[in-house]
Amino acid sequence: METANAPGPQDTRTDRGGHGAQDARSAAADNRSVRDPAAEPPHRIRAVHTETTVTVYQAYPPEIGLAAARDGRFPEPWKRDRMTWVKPSFLWMMYRCGWATKAGQETVLAVEIERAGLEWALEHACLAHYRRGLHPDRAAWQRLLRRSPARVQWDPERDLRLRPLPYRSLQLGLAGEAARRYADEWTVSVTDVTPLVHRIHGLLRDGEPEAARSLLPAERAYPVRPGALAHLGGDGPG
């Protein structure tokens, strides 16, 4: 089963008071040595990227993940007619797959894709849920959702201990034309990063968070043109 096709629970704990808000404040303080969460826009794409590519993460069972890393492309069992979700955030992927311990998500892949592909997907995407003020009405959003080959969720970013931070991370769902383009046109390289995942997780279990943090991928704000995320509830340029 291709478990990476599921987006995972949409965590809204930071939107409410109580323990969720307290956890977010604690996570923000823990993460402050990396960046100041208070200075972060609530919605922004953060990723490892070059001038031409951007890296996203997925987790699969070994029979799919190992074959994809070996061949540099997704194998025959990978269903191009199903929605697949990709995540530019390494730590959100760790939250989703439990540091590669969840069944069917034991192999974590770093998939380097063309930036032009990501930008095409964002341009043709629809927000995964109805938002008053962004969509004319719920029926209009549902029509847009049905015809869009991509959809977007903004979920709370995670700190090193996978606690929610007070700003959000992109999840991008690809279906139909977008999924086929992702697998057959946009993919530049596929790397099995499961050993890195296990090493970071092991350092955390051994009480060495700074050593673990030093191994994290160097994600930074991804540049988008002004207004490119407006239809997705995002904030201005990255």
Cα separations in angstroms, 199 against 32, 52, 99, 143: 23, 29, 10, 45
Per-residue model confidence (pLDDT) at position 233: 87
pLDDT at 38: 56
Helix H or strand E encompassing 8? none
Residue 221: count of CB within 10 angstroms of its CB: 15
Q: What is the pLDDT of residues 2-51, one digit of tens each?
A: 444 444 443 333 333 333 444 444 444 444 434 565 567 888 899 999 99
The pLDDT, as a whole number, for residue 39 is 66
Biggest distance spanned by C-alpha atoms of the chain: 52
Q: What would the mean pLDDT of 118-133 be, rounded to a whole number? A: 95
> Which pTM was predicted?
0.84
What tokens does 72 get? 């540099």
Residue 118's pLDDT band (cuts 50, 70, 90): very high
The angle formed by the CA atoms of residues 196, 199 and 204, to the nearest 5 degrees, is: 130
